[in-house]
Amino acid sequence: MNCEFMIASTPLPPCMPFPKAMLRLPVGNTAKVMYARLLDEILTRGTEDSNGILFIRFPVMEIAAALSRSPQTCKRSLNELEQAGMIMRVRQGIGEVSHMYILLPREGVAHE
């Protein structure tokens, strides 16, 4: 990998957003990286529902490929994020990809 030192005027390469509040959540590191990837996905390809709330359709196999993890690992991480209240999946019809809503942590709010 070709790397360089940063100076004050160095532009950052493309980055994914990662809320600082995620560091305190009791979820695994794969779930934390996945959350950053999901947040990036909703910012670039999000679709508005009838209430104007953004959601994404991101099949587990595509998430697994994007993170270089197994589908089972991704399913566990999605469950962790859902249990932590960071995502909400709304099931669609049989064979349809769920709508996934990405919830934003509020600074200063402790999660259980």
Rounded to an integer, what distance in angstroms lies between the CA atom of residue 64 and that of residue 25? 22
pLDDT tens-place string over residues 63-96 = 999 999 999 999 999 999 999 999 999 999 888 8
Total length of the chain: 112
The pLDDT of residue 35 is above 80: yes
pLDDT, average across residues 16-28: 90
Rounded to an integer, what distance in angstroms lies between the CA atom of residue 22 and that of residue 56? 20
The pLDDT of residue 106 is above 90: no
Domains and CATH numbers, the chain: 20-102 (1.10.10.10)
Query: Higher confidence at residue 109 or residue 10?
Result: 10
For 83, the enclosing helix (H) or strand (E) is helix 71-83
Residue 108 confidence (pLDDT)? 55
CB atoms within 10 A of CB 56: 20
- Strand ranges, E, within the chain: 47-48, 54-55, 87-90, 99-102
Rounded to an integer, what distance in angstroms lies between the CA atom of residue 25 and that of residue 79? 14
pLDDT tens-place string over residues 36-59 = 999 999 999 999 999 999 999 999
